[in-house]
């Protein structure tokens, strides 16, 4: 079905920049970049998929059934996203909050051209009908000068809710927790800009440069743009093995090395942050146990500190062996949405989230990734991400955090601002 060719390059970093610049001319783009993170990445350092041959785009109604049919019928590489509001397909829930973005709930495409980077090896996988373009494209990519334009007009970003309203809503969330309705819930707030013109391609490059996360993604599908600096993996399937790596627990970085190390150590030993993480790990274990071989669900890492350019994070790793006859899409359906963005108990938390939040989440706190022809997959969690509809010129990014019985509204608000810092920087040119 596809023709593959492998080339060697002397300067993989330069080629990656050239490849990204070359991709900008296509209507459909999926760019996934590990930023050379060796600790939690997939099989490749970066993947570019462009130019749709076929595609599926739908709202939440029977979305996972439609995706399952599409994935099994194509039996090919597929790239795209699952929005948070597919919860309405998984459970009897609804999404009635304000939506300025109007993204489809699910969108995947089968690319004509896929290019993989692994060290100095560049793999081209083209559909056979266009495989005569491989060598020409390789030469063209090598000739490209970088088109990175850092400067842009500053974007004025507004908060959907005020600080006072945020405190009020956290108070209501805490009431639910104290009554025993839930143990934990992820509460998010939106920042937005209307009637704004941006170059999503170069905003992505700016954001990635200052964040360098292991699950960065740039997606352009029609007018729908995702600019993601995500540090979090949702779920990966490799053969029979499943891997989920939820994040819960955040602390700032410091310029002074000793202070920075102390902040990381304090995060590792913070009882509140640990309890948040452990609650979500239990939720993930429960989700995976529904599709896993009996006794195979294990916690390989619990509350380990990972350090990124902007923040320290507590990350856990949960593995399982998928049971026989479980289709790939079923593994996603069973565990969606991811526990780190919902809460516990999951359904109750999602209902309360919907009631208290002002904006429809859409692709934010959903997932972006790919399927292989063999039915393996790897998806991130869409956080630390800017969403942009180029048609109605609406821009949005959301941030949030886990609310537990021990949450301090002031500290939760400061954590939101910390998570928003990099996105604000690239949008406002500060």
Query: For residues 267 and 285, what is the distance between their CA atoms, to the nearest angstrom?
Result: 23
Q: Hey, what are 331's tokens?
A: 């593994």
Which CATH number does the domain 2-428 belong to among 3.60.120.10, 3.40.50.620, 3.40.50.2300, 3.40.50.300? 3.60.120.10
Query: For residues 18 and 64, what is the distance between their CA atoms, to the nearest angstrom?
Result: 36
Q: Hey, what are 245's tokens?
A: 């790596």
Q: Is the Cβ–Cβ distance between 247 and 340 less than 8 Å?
A: yes
How do the pLDDT tens digits run along the chain, 430 residues long? 899 999 999 999 999 999 999 999 999 999 999 998 765 556 789 999 999 999 999 999 999 999 999 999 999 999 999 999 999 999 999 999 999 999 999 999 999 999 999 989 999 999 999 999 999 999 999 999 866 666 678 999 999 999 999 999 999 999 999 999 999 999 999 999 999 999 999 999 999 999 999 999 999 999 999 999 999 999 999 999 999 999 998 999 999 999 999 999 999 999 989 998 999 999 999 999 999 999 999 999 999 999 988 889 999 999 999 999 999 999 999 999 999 999 999 999 999 999 999 999 999 999 999 999 999 999 999 999 999 999 999 999 999 999 999 999 999 999 999 999 999 999 987 5
Query: For residues 208 and 204, what is the distance between their CA atoms, to the nearest angstrom?
Result: 6
Among candidate residues 248, 351, 360, 419, the one labeled active-site is 248
Query: For residues 267 and 250, what is the distance between their CA atoms, to the nearest angstrom?
Result: 7
All residues at 6 or more sequence positions from 16 whose CB lies less than 8 Å from its CB, including other chains? 33, 45, 46, 117
Among candidate residues 232, 357, 412, 415, the one labeled active-site is 232
> Which H helix or E strand runs over 319?
strand 311-321
Does the annotation count 232 as an active-site position?
Answer: yes
Query: For residues 229 and 216, what is the distance between their CA atoms, to the nearest angstrom?
Result: 5
- Model confidence, pTM: 0.95
Burial class (CB in 10 A: 0-12, 13-18, 19+), 158: exposed
Does the annotation count 248 as an active-site position?
Answer: yes
Burial class (CB in 10 A: 0-12, 13-18, 19+), 237: buried
Query: For residues 271 and 426, what is the distance between their CA atoms, to the nearest angstrom?
Result: 34
Residue corresponding to tokens 């960065």: 216
């Amino acid at each position: 079905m596809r023709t593959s060719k492998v080339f060697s390059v002397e300067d993989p970093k330069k080629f990656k920049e050239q490849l990204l610049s070359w991709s900008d001319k296509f209507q459909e783009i999926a760019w996934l970049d590990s930023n050379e993170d060796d600790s939690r990445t997939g099989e490749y350092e970066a993947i570019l998929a462009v130019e749709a041959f076929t595609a599926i785009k739908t709202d939440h109604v029977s979305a996972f059934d439609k995706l399952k049919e599409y994935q099994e019928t194509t039996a090919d590489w597929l790239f795209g996203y699952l929005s948070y509001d597919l919860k309405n397909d998984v459970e009897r829930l609804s999404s009635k909050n304000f939506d300025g973005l109007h993204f489809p709930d699910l969108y995947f495409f089968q690319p004509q051209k896929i290019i993989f980077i692994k060290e100095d090896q560049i793999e081209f996988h083209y559909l056979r009908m266009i495989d005569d373009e491989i060598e020409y494209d390789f030469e063209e990519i090598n000739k490209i000068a970088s088109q990175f334009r850092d400067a842009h007009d500053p974007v004025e970003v507004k908060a959907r809710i005020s600080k006072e309203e945020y405190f009020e809503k956290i108070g209501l969330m805490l009431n639910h927790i104290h009554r025993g309705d839930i143990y934990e819930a992820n509460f998010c707030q939106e920042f937005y800009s209307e009637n704004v013109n941006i170059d999503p391609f170069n905003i992505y490059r700016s954001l990635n440069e200052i964040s360098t996360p292991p699950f960065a993604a740039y997606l352009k599908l029609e007018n729908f743009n995702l600019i993601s600096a995500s540090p979090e993996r949702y779920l990966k399937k490799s053969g029979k093995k499943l891997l989920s790596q939820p994040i819960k627990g955040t602390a700032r970085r410091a310029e002074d090395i000793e202070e920075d190390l102390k902040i990381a150590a304090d995060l590792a030993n913070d009882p509140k942050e640990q309890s948040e993480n452990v609650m979500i790990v239990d939720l993930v274990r429960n989700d995976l146990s529904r599709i896993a071989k009996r006794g195979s669900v294990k916690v390989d890492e619990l509350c380990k500190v990972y350090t990124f350019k902007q923040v320290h994070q507590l990350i856990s790793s949960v593995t399982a062996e998928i049971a026989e006859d479980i289709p790939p899409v079923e593994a996603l359906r069973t565990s969606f949405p991811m526990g780190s963005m919902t809460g516990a108990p999951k359904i109750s938390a999602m209902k309360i989230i919907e009631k208290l939040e002002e904006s429809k989440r859409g692709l934010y706190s959903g997932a972006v990734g790919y399927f292989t022809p063999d039915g393996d997959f790897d998806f991130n969690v869409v956080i630390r991400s800017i969403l942009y509809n180029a048609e109605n010129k609406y821009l949005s990014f959301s941030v949030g955090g886990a609310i537990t019985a021990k949450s301090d509204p002031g500290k939760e608000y400061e954590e939101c601002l910390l998570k928003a810092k990099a996105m604000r920087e690239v949008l406002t040119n500060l």
